[in-house]
Chains A and B, each alone.
Chain A
């Protein structure tokens, strides 16, 4: 049932897939995610819905190859079938009533979950600027899509191969510290990046939303594995999020909880690398 309709390799670590998923495609909104299983008795992994096509009954996912299951996923091709795809999970993004300009910041593969949000704002007639950051030019993804929806795109790379050399926060500072025209910042990327963005915007009281992807199992609020401390209370990222007010998120606790299975993952990738070649 969950046929891979299209597949595109964006760079050696990041791939994009269009998958048939009728229920999800009919209902999903920006900010929501889905659960994928590549094989029976395999892992369930959460991936944000980067795009969707209601007529085609398909959704688009973008994933970084970081562990066993994403590696397995990268070995699948157009015409193959995934074992399970379910959703849409999480809350759809709520749009503010004001008509102020939006600044989106996408760090690495974080650009993928950022895209549907920018697209939705654009469709509502709200102007968006976007900062895309990555380690080098090759790792900047989805530029062609953002160009359709953003008024200005600022690039940022560690090695300076494209745009500003340095961190997204440096570009952010330049844009907001002198003359802030933004009503909201949407920051999606690695936890340290989102934390660093919030450190800046909090001082300016510039509303910032972040998108979290802690370790998850079911995605429907059943297990509490994805819990975080938010405004001093415990929330589940899968049902209360994954989009949250960045000012209230305890990033340190999230970063700590994120490495719980690091040792296990390390052992796993070695096993997978021993047999067979990587996907061509």
Chain B
């Protein structure tokens, strides 16, 4: 058996057929088999100064875990990755590998990069099935740290601190743990049983999670510190929905993506039917990021006959993960690019009936580096629609800032932190993830949580 697989393409990974999966909530990607994983792992050349590691926000030692899969030392592969990344089953599924690890893979120069994401997913699923647990003999140091939010930033920070011996308690505002992993990302991309299983592993490290506690309302950051927590990490996310502020936005049938996804993912409106969700027939999702893709594909699965994505820039500018855009198109979602809503139209009972849009063209680049969309005068048209989902961004929830005076924020709400330590303007209070950066990715949040954990440990030692 040769050591390296020199094939120029990734071993294909099975997926549900688009027509079938557009009507169910089961996971779209079906994962590798053991043989396929080993075959793909052998494509990795074990580069000495591996460029992929530097592109990973949590610095996973990629050649190490991939190498062990290739050698069929699966336990070893799992121990390797879990050391660097507390949520591998999640990251393997939702990371934008094409702009991170895989973008710099040497194999990608001539053909396709190594399927690093697929391998991370495979080894994490394997470990879960086999009941492998990270071996952790940790000496507790008796110091308490509080973490706000049980999303990826909080979970990552808590996990790292627990490994270093701290007594960590996570305070979660909702009745279920996971943050966006639970309420934001749909079941068909990230099964909730997997999220629960990953969180259980973190709890096994000794991390406590208290649900239904809203820091900023049920208890303040100052009060937490009075209770003996020597440091606080804020990972409360970006849960404030943005609306366009156009006419008709308060008509019935208009949702923020947050509300729509929370009803379906967190409250299980697609199967439990206790919390309702308006199941539109003709749905328009405004936006071009992952949240927009999630909302559109969810609307389809709820039974919509027609789903549009309306995005004001073009194909190149779509910020969503490539695989999500690809899957959305396969499932039959129509992309109306270079279009922007002008107003929403309703009937006499105030139900949404249509959306008036205008065509756009791309002008000069703006601050973010993306070309600014400019309206094409007189190109207005109306689409018949009964549901609109606004997925144009989320900003940080201001509840904590409102009750913690010393916290400095940007004008748009993001907490200001020291880049190297993630410490805020309030001593011993750290923050990371979307609450600092604005809506971004799971892995970036995890990276921030890791940096903060290191910094907290350094300070409290």
Contact = CB atoms under 8 A, between A and B. Distances in A.
Nearest to B210: A23
Contact of A223 (B212, B249, B250, B262): B262
Contacts of A268: 273-274
Given A43-B274, A86-B214, A89-B217, A220 B250 contact: no
B256 to A, nearest CB: 4
Q: How large is the interface on A (under 10, 10 to 19, 20 to 34, 35 or more residues)?
A: 35 or more
B349 interface: yes
Interface string A26-37: 010000000001
A227 interface: yes
Interface string A42-73: 11100000000000000000000000110000
Interface in B254-271: 255-256, 258-259, 262-263, 267-268
B267 A225 contact: no
B399 A220 contact: yes
Contacts of A223: 241, 256, 258-259, 262
B268 A85 contact: no
Nearest to A32: B217
Interface string B205-228: 000000111100111000000000
Contact of B211 (A41, A68, A84, A253): A84
Contact of B278 (A40, A222, A260): A260
Given A69-B274, A229-B250, A86 B173 contact: yes
B245 interface: yes
B61 interface: no
B239 A221 contact: yes
Interface residues of B, number: 38
B238 to A, nearest CB: 10
A217 B259 contact: yes
B175 A37 contact: yes
Contacts of A89: 214, 217
Q: Which of A42, A218, A229 has the most CB of B within 10 A?
A: A218
B174 to A, nearest CB: 7
B196 interface: no
Contacts of A229: 250
A253 B250 contact: yes
Interface in B235-249: 239-241, 243, 245, 249
A37 B174 CA distance: 11
Contact of A44 (B249, B267, B350, B397): B267
B173 A221 contact: no
A69 B268 CA distance: 15
B409 to A, nearest CB: 15
Contacts of A234: 243, 245, 249-250
B217 A224 contact: no
A257 interface: yes
Given A221-B399, A225-B259, A261-B276, A86 B218 contact: yes
B258 A256 contact: no
Nearest to B253: A260
B218 A217 contact: no
B420 interface: no
A88 B250 contact: no
Contact of A85 (B212, B217, B245, B350): B212
A85 B211 CA distance: 10
Contacts of B243: 224, 227, 234
Nearest to A259: B252
Contact of A224 (B258, B263, B268): B258
Contacts of A171: none
A239 interface: yes
A222 B239 contact: yes
B83 interface: no
Contact of A222 (B250, B274, B276, B397): B397
A225 B255 CA distance: 7
Interface in B342-362: 349-350
B272 interface: yes
Nearest to B261: A223
Contacts of B268: 41
**Residue in A84, A222, A256 with the greatest tally of chain B CB atoms within 10 Å:** A222
Interface string A253-265: 1001101110011
Contacts of B272: 41-42
A106 interface: no
Contacts of B217: 27, 87-89, 220
Given A223-B262, A234-B243, A84 B250 contact: no
A37 B272 CA distance: 14
12 contacts: A24-B218, A43-B267, A83-B175, A86-B212, A86-B218, A217-B275, A220-B397, A223-B262, A224-B241, A225-B255, A225-B259, A239-B398
Given A220-B173, A220-B399, A222-B262, 18 more contacts: A23-B213, A27-B218, A41-B267, A41-B272, A44-B267, A84-B211, A86-B175, A86-B212, A86-B213, A87-B218, A217-B275, A220-B397, A221-B239, A222-B241, A223-B256, A225-B259, A265-B276, A268-B273
Interface of B: 173-175, 211-214, 217-219, 239-241, 243, 245, 249-250, 252-253, 255-256, 258-259, 262-263, 267-268, 272-276, 278, 349-350, 397-399
- Rank and list the top 3 A-B pairs by shortest CB-CB distance, nearest first: A223-B259, A86-B212, A23-B218
